[in-house]
Amino acid sequence: MLRLFLLGKKNYRKRKKHFINNFYFSERTNTHVKLEWRPAASYGEVAVAGYKIYVNNRLAANLTHDQLSYTLTNGIACDIYTVHVQTISIEKNIVSPMSRGIQFAWPGMKPGAFRRIDDGQTGSIIVAWEHPQLEDEMEKLIGYKV
């Protein structure tokens, strides 16, 4: 379970309010990865304005307080991504730290390096490629398409 603690005003440090509970994947496909979270049952006196989503330590989105999911698209197969969520309060002097990151490899397959290996003397072209990288090592490769 991922929890995000509120820091800022002195009286909140002792109580450690949880702003986010259950940060998890709800969908993972080759085209998108959807993350969801549940807000804490109570924030005490603090009003939440929204959430900031960081992907690989770069701000990717600003969401409103009622948006409790974020879908990443345009990922590169097998590349590693780290996602953090930060809660934003209406009061500017209360700052929430970023959550612990969820790290994952984008689903799919990355082709191996493709190269020409013939000597250029014959009329035939000979090519070779390295074994592709699979995000899930349990998957089986059934063929190649050139």
Q: Strands of the chain (E only): list them.
A: 20-28, 32-39, 48-55, 58-64, 69-73, 80-89, 102-105, 109-110, 114-116, 127-129, 133-134
Is the pLDDT at 33 greater than 90? The verdict is yes
- Global model pTM greater than 0.75: no
43-91 per-position pLDDT tens digit: 667 788 889 999 999 999 999 989 999 999 999 988 999 999 988 888 7
Q: Which candidate, 89, 86, 87, places its Cα nearest to that of 98?
A: 86
Q: Which of 133 and 2 is assigned the larger pLDDT?
A: 133
Domains contained in the chain, CATH given: 10-105 (2.60.40.10), 109-146 (no CATH)
Using pLDDT thresholds of 50, 70 and 90, give the confidence band for residue 2. Answer: very low
